[in-house]
């Protein structure tokens, strides 16, 4: 989690909001070493309802003047550092959303403008925002050749792969 948070903090963003769920205390303890005024945490008390509830919790915790967001997944610590800037450039340039792809396949992270916050907040269950964002005619796709846009650490074997890549 701390490596993912470091990648998010390295992005050209004003604030990084970490949404915690079932392991909130452990995640918050792990983040204590990252002393940064731009880093805040918020708890998703409805975490068992899926990723849509985490998206809602994160969006509701943002300042009212937030113009756009990048959604990083905490279990994907090898997202290339150049991707967030490219996503934000597309959204700040007028696209309502920007999505990462590797070899034409959906990858992480994604970014979207405030105009989509209410639509994202209406999502339910274990449904992320990707389907909604991909349906937008002005969505921009940012291609990457970096495997870190796919690799997550859900299973112990994934952790070994990541350690070998570092």
Q: Are 104 and 121 in contact (CB under 8 A)?
A: no
Q: If you count them, how many residues does the chain have?
A: 166
* Domain, as residue range, for 154: 2-165
Q: Are 94 and 83 in contact (CB under 8 A)?
A: no
SS3 per-residue string spanning 30-84: HHCCCCCCCEEEEECCCHHHCHHHHHHHHHHCCCCCCCEEEECCCCCCCCCCCHH
Least confident of 12-16, 60-64, 86-90, 158-162: 158-162
Averaged pLDDT, 97-121? 95
pLDDT of residue 78: 83
Q: Give the position of tokens 């390295």.
A: 10
Q: What is the pTM of this model?
A: 0.88
Averaged pLDDT, 145-156? 76
Total structural domains in the chain? 1
**Angle CA 1–140–90, to nearest 5:** 75
CATH of the domain at 153: 3.90.550.10
Averaged pLDDT, 8-13? 91
Backbone torsions φ then ψ of 66, nearest 5 degrees: -65, 125
**25-65 pLDDT, tens digit each:** 988 888 888 889 999 999 999 999 999 999 999 999 999 99
Band (86; pLDDT cuts 50, 70, 90): very high
pLDDT of residue 13: 92
């Amino acid at each position: 989690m701390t490596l993912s948070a470091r990648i998010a903090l390295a992005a050209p963003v004003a604030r990084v909001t970490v949404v915690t769920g079932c392991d909130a205390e452990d995640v918050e303890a792990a983040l204590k070493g990252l002393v940064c005024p731009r880093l805040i945490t918020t708890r998703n008390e409805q975490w068992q309802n899926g990723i849509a509830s985490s998206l809602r919790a994160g969006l509701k915790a943002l300042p009212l003047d937030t113009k756009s967001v990048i959604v990083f997944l905490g279990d994907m610590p090898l997202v290339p550092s150049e991707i967030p800037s490219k996503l934000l450039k597309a959204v700040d340039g007028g696209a309502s959303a920007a999505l990462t792809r590797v070899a034409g396949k959906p990858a992480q992270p994604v970014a979207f403008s405030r105009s989509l916050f209410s639509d994202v907040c209406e999502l339910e269950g274990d449904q992320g925002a990707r389907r909604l964002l991909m349906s937008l005619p002005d969505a921009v796709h940012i291609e990457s050749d970096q495997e870190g846009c796919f690799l997550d650490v859900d299973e112990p074997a994934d952790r070994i792969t990541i350690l070998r890549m570092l």
